[in-house]
């Protein structure tokens, strides 16, 4: 099992996805070859494409760790190494000579001289520069000269984690923060801060982190997080563990007093494997006024973070994962967001995604960075993203949740639909109408909650209009599914007015059914029958019944998900 991430960045570039996927290709890919691939790509802040120092020079750093003997090696402040991660591993595996202690960290000219003696070739520092890094450097210098304050900049350290035959390896590589003081060392060179790899009592954990190096070093970040994950109880929720860790040890720790709050970024890739269930846990946590990360999508009014998940399944074939979006608009100024995605390889090319979604402030946007996964077994694959700011609003009252939904209350999810504009008879004319459909997997059934968000006079208003359980109409024919939408008269009026009516609602519901019950390849599922019926049991309530028959059998999905939930 191996995964690579592109760091906590501030860029939107589709080629990032291609680059991360390319880093995982090959018959014998490992963390060093994967990170080396990113170091050679100018899109990433490492190797060729690194941020420039205050003097306009490149100073790279990288670290490597293996669970075998807790071997660790790092190099820092190097300007003549094309692939510093390779030298970092060489430092880690170097045996001591006689009574001399082998070094763990080498920096500057000493690191470059040592690398040359070990057979590594040196490069001209100018070959590590790009036009883009020069432009970013000039822009940052101008901002600093005009405002006296350094603009929040790219801290997107790249990294990789692998678990193979009971051996855990982790690697990070970075060009550091832009306009850094020459000679500055980041978390990549600090034992326990930039990465961790350990195996204990049948459980393996590998961690690679990206973010503000000074803050991560103060937190002893990777070692602290890894050891909490190693010691966690079998029935504990990873989301609760990580949430608590970020709040206690990172965001609210006294150790972070010297660090500006708007620089407390952290993006973590953690791999975990047990004897019965390997999993990979990418985690991203940010506290930003506006987080503009690698897979960030925006409109003029609504900022929507989104992510793509790709995996290697079975014969190491790269399978693009379904895109999913995390967003919610409220009037809050801070947020907590937890996303849990379980990918169940029910059939080749199919992944089941279940999402745990909380509220995000409308004027804030957070997203996990670019993650590409490799997964060569048929076991559970878990994705956990934690975004921590301050308070959060839980959309569901879990104490009142129906008993048959409580076993999966931590898998509440969100599908975002396309925005549309229009006017409502019962609501103030909105600048933009936005719908979000929230499915809850329930042993072969799901539930929907339709949310309407509109903007007026710079304010954001959100209304929840419907609750829709989606279930199999009959166990004898699992291809038939029925959905019921219960909505208020106000909500129904909103749906029927403007552009949000009739065919638009049918399209949205049809898309949901397609996403919810697709057990084949992405484009080979057709909904054979789709019809709607309407009932009005009371003056202020209307029920819309939707029936869809597909050409795919979801019985296998239902059985596997039921076994998963115990």
In contact, 63 and 73? CB cutoff 8 Å? yes
d(CA 375, CA 373): 6
- Do the bridges between strand 336-343 and strand 324-325 make them parallel or antiparallel, or are there none, so unpaired? unpaired
In contact, 32 and 86? CB cutoff 8 Å? yes
E strands, 140-220, are 158-164, 167-174, 195-200, 203-211
In contact, 31 and 78? CB cutoff 8 Å? no
Whether 112 has a pLDDT exceeding 80, the answer reads yes
E strands, 41-90, are 60-66, 71-78
What pLDDT is attached to residue 336? 25
Q: Which backbone phi and psi does 210 adopt, to 5 degrees? A: -130, 145
Q: Which backbone phi and psi does 305 adopt, to 5 degrees? A: -75, 145
d(CA 131, CA 163): 37
What pLDDT is attached to residue 165? 75
Say which of 53, 157, 368, 453 is annotated catalytic: 157
To which residue do tokens 């006024």 refer? 289
C-alpha torsion angle, residues 410, 415, 310, 384 (rounded to 10)? -30
Of 156, 124, 153, 122, nearest to 137 by C-alpha is 153
Of 336, 330, 327, 332, nearest to 303 by C-alpha is 327
Among 135-139, 365-369, 383-387, 462-466, which range has the highest average pLDDT?
A: 135-139
pLDDT, tens only, 311-345: 222 222 222 222 222 222 222 222 222 222 222 22
To which residue do tokens 């407390």 refer? 264
Of 350, 307, 338, 298, nearest to 14 by C-alpha is 307
3-state secondary structure of 143: helix
3-state secondary structure of 505: helix
pLDDT, tens only, 197-237: 999 988 888 888 888 899 999 999 999 999 998 888 766 65
Q: What is the mean pLDDT of residues 44-71?
A: 95
Whether 349 has a pLDDT exceeding 50, the answer reads no
Please state whether 95 falls in left (phi above 0), alpha (psi between -120 and 50) or beta: beta
pLDDT, tens only, 137-190: 998 888 888 766 555 555 678 888 888 878 999 999 999 988 999 999 999 999
Of 155, 186, 175, nearest to 267 by C-alpha is 155
Q: What is the mean pLDDT of residues 524-547?
A: 48
Among 330-334, 347-351, 478-482, which range has the highest average pLDDT?
A: 478-482
DSSP annotation of 451:
E
Whether 290 has a pLDDT exceeding 60, the answer reads no
Among 9-23, 112-126, 370-384, 420-434, which range has the highest average pLDDT?
A: 112-126
- 157 as an active site residue: the answer is yes
Tell me how crowded residue 443 is: count the other CB atoms within 10 A of its CB. 17
3-state helix, strand, coil in the chain (%, to 5): 25, 30, 45
To which residue do tokens 């939930």 refer? 565
Residues 6+ apart with CB under 8 A from 189: 61, 63, 74, 75, 76, 105, 107
In contact, 60 and 128? CB cutoff 8 Å? yes
Q: What is the mean pLDDT of residues 490-499?
A: 38
DSSP annotation of 189:
G
d(CA 448, CA 280): 28
d(CA 362, CA 369): 20
Of the candidate ranges 34-43, 55-64, 215-224, 299-308, the one whose mean pLDDT is the lowest:
299-308
**Cα separations (Å) of 279 from 113, 272, 375?**
40, 5, 9
Mean pLDDT for the chain overall: 59
d(CA 409, CA 404): 10
Among 38-42, 238-242, 279-283, which range has the highest average pLDDT?
A: 38-42
The radius of gyration of the chain's CA atoms, rounded to the nearest angstrom, is 25
- Token couple for 470: 């989606």
Distance of CA 211 to the CA centre of its chain: 14
d(CA 48, CA 130): 7
- Token couple for 547: 């029936």
- Token couple for 185: 């060392």
- Do the bridges between strand 105-107 and strand 71-78 make them parallel or antiparallel, or are there none, so unpaired? parallel
What pLDDT is attached to residue 18? 65
Of 154, 188, 155, nearest to 171 by C-alpha is 188
What pLDDT is attached to residue 263? 76
Domains of the chain in start order, with CATH, are 2-94+102-388 (3.60.20.30), 418-565 (no CATH)
d(CA 51, CA 45): 6
pTM above 0.75, yes or no: no
Higher pLDDT, 319 or 109: 109
In contact, 544 and 533? CB cutoff 8 Å? yes
What pLDDT is attached to residue 80? 97
**Cα separations (Å) of 239 from 159, 223, 283, 355?**
22, 18, 10, 12
DSSP annotation of 485:
E
Q: For the packed helices 221-231 and 238-245, what is the interaxial angle rounded to 10 degrees?
A: 150
Q: What is the mean pLDDT of residues 500-514?
A: 45
Please report which confidence band the pLDDT of residue 16 belongs to, taking 50, 70 and 90 as the band edges.
low
d(CA 520, CA 344): 13
d(CA 238, CA 246): 12
């Amino acid at each position: 099992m191996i995964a690579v991430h592109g760091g906590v960045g501030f860029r939107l570039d589709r080629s990032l996805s291609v680059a991360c996927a390319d880093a995982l290709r090959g018959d014998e890919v490992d963390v060093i070859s994967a990170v080396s691939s990113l170091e050679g790509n100018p899109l990433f802040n490492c190797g060729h494409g690194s941020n420039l120092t205050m003097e306009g020079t490149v100073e790279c750093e990288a670290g490597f760790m293996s669970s075998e003997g807790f071997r660790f090696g790092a190099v820092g402040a190097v300007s003549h190494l094309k692939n510093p991660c390779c030298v970092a591993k060489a430092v880690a595996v170097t045996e001591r000579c006689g009574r001399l202690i082998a070094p763990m960290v080498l920096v500057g000219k000493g690191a470059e001289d040592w690398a040359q003696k070990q057979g590594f070739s040196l490069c001209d520092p100018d070959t590590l520069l790009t036009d883009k890094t020069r432009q970013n450097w000039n822009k940052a210098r101008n901002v600093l000269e005009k405002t006296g304050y350094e603009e929040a900049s790219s801290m997107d350290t790249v990294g990789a984690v692998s678990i193979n035959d009971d051996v855990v390896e982790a690697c990070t590589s970075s060009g550091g923060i832009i306009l850094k003081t020459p000679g500055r060392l980041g978390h990549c060179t600090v034992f326990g801060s930039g990465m961790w790899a350990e195996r204990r009592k049948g459980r393996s954990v590998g961690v690679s982190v990206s973010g503000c190096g000074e803050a991560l070093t103060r937190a002893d970040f990777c070692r602290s997080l890894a050891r909490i994950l190693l010691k966690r109880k079998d029935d504990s929720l990873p989301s609760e563990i990580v949430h608590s860790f970020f709040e206690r040890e990172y965001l609210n720790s006294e150790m972070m007093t010297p660090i500006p709050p708007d620089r407390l970024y952290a993006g973590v890739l953690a791999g975990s494997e047990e004897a019965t269930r390997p999993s990979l846990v990418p985690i991203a946590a940010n506290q930003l006024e506006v987080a503009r990360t690698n897979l960030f999508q925006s409109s003029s009014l609504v900022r929507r973070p989104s992510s793509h998940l790709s995996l290697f399944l079975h014969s190491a074939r790269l399978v693009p994962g379904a895109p999913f979006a995390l967003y919610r608009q409220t009037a809050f100024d801070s947020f907590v967001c937890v996303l849990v995605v379980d990918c169940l390889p029910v059939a080749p090319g199919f992944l089941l995604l279940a999402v745990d979604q909380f509220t995000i402030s409308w004027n804030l946007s957070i997203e996990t960075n670019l993650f590409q996964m490799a997964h060569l077994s048929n076991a559970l694959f878990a994705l956990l993203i934690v975004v921590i700011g301050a308070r959060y609003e839980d959309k569901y009252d879990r104490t009142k949740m129906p008993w048959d939904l409580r076993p999966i209350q931590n898998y509440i999810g969100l599908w975002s639909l396309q925005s549309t504009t229009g006017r409502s008879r019962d609501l103030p004319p909105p600048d933009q109408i936005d719908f979000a459909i929230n499915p809850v997997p329930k042993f072969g059934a799901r539930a929907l909650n339709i949310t309407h968000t509109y903007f007026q006079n710079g304010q954001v208003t959100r209304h929840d209009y419907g609750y829709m359980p989606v279930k199999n109409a009959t166990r004898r024919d699992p291809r038939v599914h029925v959905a019921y939408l219960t909505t208020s008269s106000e909500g129904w009026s909103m749906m029927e007015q403007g552009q949000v009516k009739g065919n638009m609602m049918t399209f949205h519901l049809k898309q949901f059914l397609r996403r919810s019950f697709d057990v084949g390849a992405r484009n080979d599922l057709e909904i054979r029958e789709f019809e709607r019926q309407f009932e009005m049991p009371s003056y202020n309530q209307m029920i819309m019944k939707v029936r869809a028959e597909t050409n795919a059998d979801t019985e296998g999905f239902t059985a596997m998900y039921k076994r998963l939930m115990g």
